[in-house]
Amino acid sequence: MEAANDTQGGRIRALFESAIGSVSVIAPFIKVDALRSLLDVIPTDTHLHCATRWLPQEVAAGVSDLEILDMLEKRGNFTLSLVDRLHAKLYIAGERCLVGSANVTLAGLGEGGGRNIEVLVETTIDNLGIAATLEEISQAERPATRLMAQAARRLADSLSTSMASKVDLEAPWFPISRRPEYAYQFYTQPPSGYLRATDRILLTDLASSNLQPGLKEDDFRTAVRSLLAAIPIAEALLDATEDTTLTRSDAHSYLETISGDDFSTNDLWLAFVNWMAYFFHDRVMKQEITEIALRCAQPLDGTS
């Protein structure tokens, strides 16, 4: 018969059941059933700190449950935060810490069907690497709210539509909507109910961008600029050292590789122009001569 602490979940529970004061659960993927199995051994007067991430694509894939917020609110005596680039898995009680590869999923804990091969190593929070990681998490985390959970759910759900299912999530992000001016509004409060086609397209753009919910507007703009700058035709334009004009003809070869039955190369070009002109208004401008183009103009004072 398997001993109680022969699984990674058993080792974490053994660490937590004697904890005094507070415990921490830090993992990018947290599922309700797996977290509940850990909460069963944590006294209600022990504060629980959870740090995770709610990326729309991962929520849509079912590897993270937004419903952990409901469970934690029912328990009380907790903090729940989001960390954009979280990959570390740490389980902390007092000075002791288990660190390794196991997420808070039944497979990650080695319980239920389909067990993963995981590792957890015991150390202390005084370990230099652990201390540095915890400091980085502390600087990056922000409180998870009900509005963030609702926004993440709406964006994740948009990836289940027939239109979103055609988005190649492995390819560099490329927006399809022509309404970038509404992007932050839709990101913070995604509309629900009956949606016009233009609304669905913008929601798909935001969901496929896979941005963590809850970014402030300046941080959102910075994140979108980074995504746009990674598009090959944008890279060439933004890296230009002199005044440069990019036309649809110049971009045609690239646009052909990502166009399809739903969106032509012209559709994609017009969307790209709008997003670049809106989010890089300090670097490029939209101009119309014989055709719509983007012009990268060097600032007069030499600054970027």
pLDDT above 90 covers what percent of the chain? Answer: 75
Distance of CA 286 to the CA centre of its chain: 30
Segment 66-119, tens digit of pLDDT: 999 999 999 999 999 999 999 999 999 999 999 999 999 999 999 977 788 999
Alpha-carbon distances of 199 from 185, 236, 267, rounded to whole Å: 11, 30, 16
Backbone angles phi, psi at 92, to 5 degrees: -125, 135
Domains plus CATH for the chain?
Answer: 8-144 (3.30.870.10), 148-296 (no CATH)
Segment 123-152, tens digit of pLDDT: 999 999 999 999 999 999 999 999 999 999
Nearest to 123 by CA among 85, 165, 91, 76: 91
Backbone angles phi, psi at 263, to 5 degrees: -135, 125
Residue 240: pLDDT band by 50, 70, 90 thresholds? confident
How far apart CA 80 and CA 174 sit, in angstroms, is 32
Q: Considering Cα of 95, then 101, then 106, then 112, what sign does the dihedral take? A: negative
What mean pLDDT value characterizes the chain? 90
Q: Mean pLDDT throughout 18-31?
A: 94
